[in-house]
A and B are shown apart, each in its own frame.
Chain A
Amino acid sequence: MSEVYEGYRRPDDLGTPAIESDVSITLMVDGKEVSVPEGTTVIRAAALAGINIPKLCATDSLEPFGSCRLCLVEIEGAKGLPASCTTEAQDGMKVTTQNHRLADVRRNVMELYISDHPLDCLTCPTNGDCELQDMAGAVGLRDVRYGYAGENHLEAEKDESNPYFTFDPSKCIVCSRCVRACEEVQGTFALTIDGRGFDSKVAASEDQPFLDSECVSCGACVQACPTATLTENSLINKGQPEHTVVTTCAYCGVGCSFRAEMKGNEVVRMLPNKDGKANHGHSCVKGRFAFGYATHKDRITTPMIRESIHDPWQEVSWDEAIKFSADKLKGIQAKYGPGSIGGITSSRCSNEETYLVQKMVRAAFGNNNVDTCARVCHSPTGYGLKSTLGESAGTQAFDSVLHSDVIVVIGANPTEAHPVFASQMKRRLREGANLIIADPRSIDLVRSPHVEADYHLQLSPGTNVALINAMAHVVLSEGLEAKAYIKDRCELDAYEDWRSFILDEKNSPESMESVTGVPAEDVRGAARLYATAPNGAIYYGLGVSEHSQGSTMVMGIANLAMATGNLGREGVGVNPLRGQNNVQGACDMGSFPHELPGYRHISDTSTRTLFEKEWGVELMPDPGYRIPNMFDAAVAGQFKGMYVQGEDLAQSDPDTHHVTAALSSLECMIVQDLFLNETAKFAHVFLPGSSFLEKNGTFTNAERRISPVRKVMEPLAGYEDWEVTQALSNALGYPMNYSHASEIMDEIARLTPTFEGVSFEKLDRLGTIQWPCNDEAVEGTPTMHVDEFVRGKGLFRLTPYVETDERTTRKYPLILTTGRILSQYNVGAQTRRTENMQWHDEDIVEIHPHDAEQRGIEHGDWVGLKSRAGDTVLRADVTERVQPGVVYTTFHHPESGANVVTTDNSDWATNCPEYKVTAVQAYKVTQLSEWQEKFEEFTEEQLEHLRKAKTPTQATSV
């Protein structure tokens, strides 16, 4: 399989965005006939005809602005010289783009620009990739008559506050592309043009340094800048790239496509791919800028082993590490039985890697003890959507939101956790779509520039199901249900059961008001708004799944969508926003202990036979352990060995005391990762992992989009992750002989009906594919359940509200809920090793002023948080973002110990932890918790063990 390498060139720019229209018009540009959709601008029509009209303020990622006066053209029968970027092409129009008159005007315009621009092209960071430079060349500028003696901006001071880009106003031509990008693309409105006339200048917020402003560092302004005014620091330091590789971001579940712009083996910058179907050329601060972790000094690139977690590490060859691992695992199985070991796949790894880990567990370990980190995030999505709609996946493409009239966001914080999709959603909201938010916190979407929620249902944590039932009660009791849709597409007996359940008075908004804390009238208003919308779409996140009734809530959402007919077309749907890059893919690939790839139960004989035939081994028919079961069995002395690829159980899983007790009890913990993460501190074998830049494979994002991951540099430790799994499997006696990740995908396609038509070759051709992809949908499926549900008829499931056991008491009177922040990602292993630390270098606890005052807590104080599971200490942020009685924190830093406090309570159906509800007490303290002090000691011990790692005695291949 060959990588998609191109020589470096700037992406094509057609001047203004594409227009969708069924009507085609034909015009003549410089005597050349071109047909375009009605509404297309002249500049774009010309570009489509292969004629590039000079431009500066125009770019096809932004609406036309018409300020630079460079793209002027002559139009037969029209007066003057109209700007081609703001002039709509007409049928029969005759356009002239080049003649003496136009050339003179353009040259004069450029002369004025250059008269206030430094002539330092040779030493300028964007030398060779500057639109201003190109335009000076294009218009034939040879002389600037005005000199520099007059007033100018050449001495304007640089703003280097942002760690990732530099703002050099001396090079600004005030084209407003950055301001418009911040508004139109990102939707933050942090930039403005300050002043008037000659004094006009770009300003961030109230003319603040970028770092102190409202700027979210998405980089859209940098990308839009046609000069060197806004430039990536990596480009300033390294110079222009020389080749490009298209790949997929390894951060959140949006799965942005990027052009990795390279200089040899080094990434110069990550440029969002305009052709990327999930991101359309946009990105966030993580994806665009926070890639430095891949070459961070903390990377471990030599395998290590040790007998005890209190021994120093010993660097060894790959062969030695693999043999040591295999011997240990075989020894444990011989002593404690075949079910005494298991493996964990990661949503941070590729489809091919997770597939191979689960295959190794089932085929080489000989059990089904495989689980994945989706256990602790979206396992309820799998359960809930499979049982109601028939498939464990979101129903739409991201672009579907552009057709939504009412958008419901439940327990999700897209501007922090899925920022690129949030920008798309905000664009639709600015166009007039209505917004309903159900969230205990006042997230940014509730009120931000040009966006305001029609309803913010600020429910008490843990009462989601009560709320969704109340909304359904309104729909049914007010006759707003989609009767024909239900009759045609759903199981009617189940619907009647559900209907009588929901219509029970105890589910009314008035009855549930005391439970949810949401005024009944708001619930009624929100339910009416959603039910009567032409297109109503629901987006949800971990605020739905990470509850004791996470699965029930997912089913409740599906019920509501079915009842209102909001499934099976664009603009509607049930859309789980997946936290990590490959949550969907890891689940698809059979990472759960009860399912083979494609969500087929392990007890199904025909499915099992299919895999047995391909894999040449007999498979166990019973489900294996889930992660919490593994921990329980480990503490009970029945589970002794684990292989963990790319996951950090010790930091991310709840009830840290229990997790670390389990990990400490293992006789062999094998961790495959980039860094010595928290779990690796309990490991006996460390196998160096490869970052997303160092391997081939695929990620599947939240919209079921399978996207290519390309090796842009050689693996620092010598091997892609799947090669290491393969070596371990071979050492265990189960042979694997793949020579490229594409062969693993070929096997997945042979065994998984929804992936039947997927191959690397097709991905090269199409760019991305949304599964199902098979004979019925050769190029994939953007919208699911179009004519019927995957399970046939949709199934309404009863969703009784069951109060969580995790209740407030006099001892623990507050509810702790946890979440994410924009600049950090999951356990922070990647983002903590980047400049993103400048935005969030510690986890803090948000507490309402009323609760803070009662406890004598002031902003910035150390606050102890204590639950029945444990206690930790964090710094306080006194804010009305949280409601009284609720405190909130993040878990991006291990020393914060957020999960020391969270409990073992979990979703009844899937064991997904109840991260969102922990009863706690908060109190002012002056020192760290006992756990934190022990954590520091243990960390220091482990770092000392790492420092003592010896040099390998031999270098051999896997």
Chain B
Amino acid sequence: MVNQIAANWDYGPDQAKAVAGVADHLRRFWSPPMFDEVARYIATGDADLSPIAERALTQLIEERQAAE
């Protein structure tokens, strides 16, 4: 799903803008348990994420960890 979100934000040369867009989208619409689940998925090392999706998720997971 997050790859699909990233694909829809991935337009033009400004990748940082796309990452911010994906991160904001996830922040606004994802429930906390879904972040926990995706964090576990990333931790397996087998996550098949697009670069934008991965950057956005990493940013959000760090954000959540900092807030805890």
Chain B residues, CB < 8 A from A603 = 27-28
For B31, give its contact among A552, A629, A798 (CB under 8 Å).
A629
A548 to B1, CA, bound (A): 10
For A908, give its contact among B7, B27, B31, B33 (CB under 8 Å).
B7
* A812 located at the interface, meaning its Cβ lies under 8 Å from any Cβ of chain B in the complex: no
Chain B residues, CB < 8 A from A390 = none
* A638 located at the interface, meaning its Cβ lies under 8 Å from any Cβ of chain B in the complex: yes
A594 to B31, CA, bound (A): 9
Residue of B with least CB distance to A594: B29
A-B contacts, CB under 8 A, total: 53
Per-residue contact bits, chain B 1-44, to A (CB 8 Å; 1 contact, 0 not): 10011011011100000000000010111111110000000000
Give the contact-size bracket for chain A.
20 to 34
Q: Which of A793-840 contact B (CB under 8 A)?
A: 798, 800, 802, 805
Q: How far is the CB of A862 from chain B (nearest CB, A)?
A: 35
Chain B residues, CB < 8 A from A369 = 31
Residue of B with least CB distance to A620: B32
Chain A residues, CB < 8 A from B8 = 549, 552, 800, 802, 908-909
Q: Which of A882-897 contact B (CB under 8 A)?
A: none
A501 to B33, CA, bound (A): 36
* A601 located at the interface, meaning its Cβ lies under 8 Å from any Cβ of chain B in the complex: yes
Chain B residues, CB < 8 A from A339 = 31, 33
For B5, give its contact among A593, A625, A629, A909 (CB under 8 Å).
A909
A149 to B25, CA, bound (A): 82
For B11, give its contact among A549, A594, A625, A798 (CB under 8 Å).
A798
Of B11, B30, B32, B33, chain A has the most CB atoms within 10 Å of the CB of B33
Q: How far is the CB of B30 from chain A (nearest CB, A)?
A: 7
For A623, give its contact among B5, B7, B29 (CB under 8 Å).
B29
Q: Which of B24-66 contact A (CB under 8 A)?
A: 25, 27-34
Residue of B with least CB distance to A337: B33
Chain A residues, CB < 8 A from B5 = 908-909
Chain A residues, CB < 8 A from B1 = 906, 908, 911
* A937 located at the interface, meaning its Cβ lies under 8 Å from any Cβ of chain B in the complex: no
Q: How far is the CB of B61 from chain A (nearest CB, A)?
A: 15
Chain B residues, CB < 8 A from A908 = 1, 4-5, 7-8
Taking a contact as CB atoms under 8 Å apart, the answer to whether B11 and A800 are in contact is yes
A368 to B29, CA, bound (A): 11
Taking a contact as CB atoms under 8 Å apart, the answer to whether A594 and B7 are in contact is no
Q: Which of A366-384 contact B (CB under 8 A)?
A: 368-369
Per-residue contact bits, chain A 458-500, to B (CB 8 Å; 1 contact, 0 not): 0000000000000000000000000000000000000001000
Q: How far is the CB of A790 from chain B (nearest CB, A)?
A: 18
Chain B residues, CB < 8 A from A626 = 29, 31
Taking a contact as CB atoms under 8 Å apart, the answer to whether B12 and A501 are in contact is yes
A216 to B42, CA, bound (A): 56
A623 to B27, CA, bound (A): 9
Chain B residues, CB < 8 A from A805 = 4
Chain B residues, CB < 8 A from A909 = 5, 8, 25, 29
Residue of B with least CB distance to A638: B33
Q: How far is the CB of A17 from chain B (nearest CB, A)?
A: 48
Given A908-B5, A908-B8, residue A623 in contact with residue B28 (CB < 8 A) = yes
For A622, give its contact among B7, B12, B32 (CB under 8 Å).
B32
Taking a contact as CB atoms under 8 Å apart, the answer to whether A625 and B31 are in contact is yes
Chain B residues, CB < 8 A from A622 = 31-32
A906 to B4, CA, bound (A): 9
Chain B residues, CB < 8 A from A497 = 12
Chain A residues, CB < 8 A from B28 = 594, 601, 603, 623
A369 to B30, CA, bound (A): 11
Taking a contact as CB atoms under 8 Å apart, the answer to whether B7 and A802 are in contact is yes
Chain B residues, CB < 8 A from A594 = 28-29
* A708 located at the interface, meaning its Cβ lies under 8 Å from any Cβ of chain B in the complex: no
* A624 located at the interface, meaning its Cβ lies under 8 Å from any Cβ of chain B in the complex: yes
A886 to B10, CA, bound (A): 30
* A25 located at the interface, meaning its Cβ lies under 8 Å from any Cβ of chain B in the complex: no
Q: How far is the CB of B11 from chain A (nearest CB, A)?
A: 4
Chain A residues, CB < 8 A from B34 = 625, 629
Taking a contact as CB atoms under 8 Å apart, the answer to whether B31 and A593 are in contact is yes
* A633 located at the interface, meaning its Cβ lies under 8 Å from any Cβ of chain B in the complex: yes
10 closest Cβ contacts across the A-B interface? Answer: A800-B11, A908-B4, A908-B8, A802-B7, A625-B31, A908-B5, A622-B32, A798-B11, A623-B31, A624-B31
Can you list 7 A-B contacts (CB < 8 A)?
A: A501-B12, A552-B8, A594-B28, A603-B28, A622-B31, A802-B7, A802-B8
Q: Which residues of A line the B interface, CB within 8 A?
A: 339, 368-369, 497, 501, 548-549, 552, 593-594, 601, 603, 622-626, 629, 633, 638, 798, 800, 802, 805, 906, 908-911
Additional A-B contact list (17), CB under 8 Å, known A368-B31, A798-B11: A339-B31, A501-B11, A549-B8, A593-B31, A622-B32, A623-B28, A623-B30, A625-B33, A626-B29, A626-B31, A633-B33, A798-B12, A906-B1, A908-B5, A909-B5, A909-B29, A910-B29
